[in-house]
Amino acid sequence: RASPRVWSAMPSWVIDRYGSNEVLRFTRDMVFPIIHFPNEVIIRVHAASLNPIDLSMRRGYGATALNMKRDPLKLKTEETEFPLTLGRDVSGVVMECGLSVSYFKPGDEVWAAIPPWKQGTLSEFVVASGNEVSFKPKCLSHIEAAALPYVGLTAWSALNQVGGLNKSNCSGKRVLILGASGGVGTFAVQLVKAWGAHVTAVCSHDASTLVKKLGADDVIDYKSGNLEEQLKTLPLFDFILDNVGGSTEKWALDLLKKWSGATYVTLVTPFLINMDKLGVADGMLQTGFTVGSKTLKHLLKGVHYRWAFFMPSGPSLDEIAELVDSGKIQPVIDEVFSFSEVPKAFLKLEGGHARGKTVINVISRQ
């Protein structure tokens, strides 16, 4: 089914090249999205939010891999992804459904995280696959709901799909979360706590009150001394989620219980950077060698080493929505900006040290 002809253009924030904040451009003439596949829906965006990946994509991070995903058969005559709309999170209302979509209907309130190879959500409307979409939690406004999908699915991927944790096996396990006060960290603290784990969270001192409120049992201030030495005084862990990367990886795995199935999962990987630097084939080869050698090295020491990535998933969002509606997970919002303030919101995110999410109120209604 084609979109109505009355809709031909819409307001949107786009970029026409990669760079710093001045590349953001507001337009009222962005091409209105249309349904190309029968499993797609068009969502009217009520609220969106920003994630660190939006900053990275604005600078061109991952362009090689993402462009391959956008046009795998090289069907386009022009090799350009521009104008490109950023923004991954959406909470809004279904406007139109493809012919094979039976689970949703126009007027349904939904939320989703749009994968980075698709046009984003800093727009009046966005297209999503039906299997990426879920009914919005009833207890949240659109602004509150927009804070959760991308970070929630990233944490869910790391903890559940890659790490193997769930509500039936998490009780009593000791979980360490590095970088606990950001978007993914605040969600992860609440999720593993809801599943019954003992949570040790690492953040700066000014975020400790927030992280304790979210359920962390122990909070370690990484600025108050040598972090490695502070953590070594604690009992060993069953699971570590690393949102920080860098030199952390060199010592963090020593904090795990050996030969017990203990797992370290990092969200900071060189996958897209390798493809940007080396090209698709060499980048994938280098990435495979890196993760394979690290996995084997740590397996021989009695611990599991894993990489995790964001994965779009409506069914996972269904499970997250249940946890939200039951009061076990709440959104953590740092600041809300109007749609006209998108560049200001990017600058806020770029400043770092956010306590939760930066949300964009795309239309005045919530």
Q: Averaged over 85-106, what is the pLDDT?
A: 98
* Cα–Cα distances in angstroms (integers) from residue 9 to residues 27, 90, 182, 209, in the given order: 9, 19, 35, 45
The CATH fold of domain 163-307: Rossmann fold (3.40.50)
The CATH fold of domain 9-149+331-361: Quinone Oxidoreductase; Chain A, domain 1 (3.90.180)
The rounded distance, in Å, linking the Cα atoms of 248 and 227 is: 9
Q: What is the pLDDT of residue 197?
A: 98
The rounded distance, in Å, linking the Cα atoms of 180 and 202 is: 6
Give yes or no for a contact between 26 and 346, defined as CB atoms under 8 angstroms apart.
no
The rounded distance, in Å, linking the Cα atoms of 275 and 287 is: 9
Question: Where do the domains of the chain lie?
Answer: 9-149+331-361, 163-307
Give yes or no for a contact between 238 and 177, defined as CB atoms under 8 angstroms apart.
no
- When pLDDT is cut at 50, 70 and 90, the band that residue 7 belongs to is low
Helix (H) or strand (E) run with residue 324 in it: helix 314-325
pLDDT one-digit tens code per residue, 161-202 = 999 999 999 999 999 999 999 999 999 999 999 999 999 999
pLDDT one-digit tens code per residue, 248-266 = 999 999 999 999 999 999 9
Which residue shows structure tokens 């970070």?
A: 151
The reported pTM is 0.94
The rounded distance, in Å, linking the Cα atoms of 27 and 184 is: 31
Calculate ∠ Cα 309-312-317, nearest 5°.
115
Number of other CB atoms surrounding residue 66 within 10 Å: 20
The rounded distance, in Å, linking the Cα atoms of 323 and 318 is: 9
Give yes or no for a contact between 38 and 26, defined as CB atoms under 8 angstroms apart.
no
pLDDT one-digit tens code per residue, 107-153 = 999 999 999 999 999 999 999 999 999 999 999 999 999 999 999 99
The one-letter code for the residue type at 155 is: A
Q: What is the pLDDT of residue 289?
A: 87
